[in-house]
Amino acid sequence: KAGVTQTPRYLIKTRGQQVTLSCSPISGHRSVSWYQQTPGQGLQFLFEYFSETQRNKGNFPGRFSGRQFSNSRSEMNVSTLELGDSALYLCASSPLSGAGHNEQFFGPGTRLTVL
Partner 1 sequence: AQKVTQAQTEISVVEKEDVTLDCVYETRDTTYYLFWYKQPPSGELVFLIRRNSFDEQNEISGRYSWNFQKSTSSFNFTITASQVVDSAVYFCALSEAPPRGGSQGNLIFGKGTKLSVKP
Give me the residues that bind partner 1 (CB under 8 A), please.
31, 33, 35, 42-45, 48, 50-51, 53, 55-56, 58, 88, 90, 92, 94, 96, 98, 100-109, 111
| Closer to partner 1 by Cβ: residue 11 or 88 | 88
Q: How far is the CB of 67 from partner 1 (least distance, A)?
A: 16
Tell me if 46 sits within 8 A of 60, measured CB to CB: yes
| Closer to partner 1 by Cβ: residue 74 or 104 | 104
Q: How far is the CB of 15 from partner 1 (least distance, A)?
A: 24
Q: How far is the CB of 66 from partner 1 (least distance, A)?
A: 13
Nearest Cα to 86, choosing from 15, 20, 24, 23? Answer: 15
| Closer to partner 1 by Cβ: residue 44 or 79 | 44
Q: How far is the CB of 32 from partner 1 (least distance, A)?
A: 10
d(CA 96, CA 39): 30
Which residues, at least 6 apart from 80, have a Cβ–Cβ distance to it below 8 Å?
16, 18, 63
| Closer to partner 1 by Cβ: residue 62 or 100 | 100
Q: Give the gyration radius of the chain's Cα atoms.
A: 13
Going from the C-alpha of 90 to that of each of 56, 98, 99, the distances in angstroms are 16, 24, 23
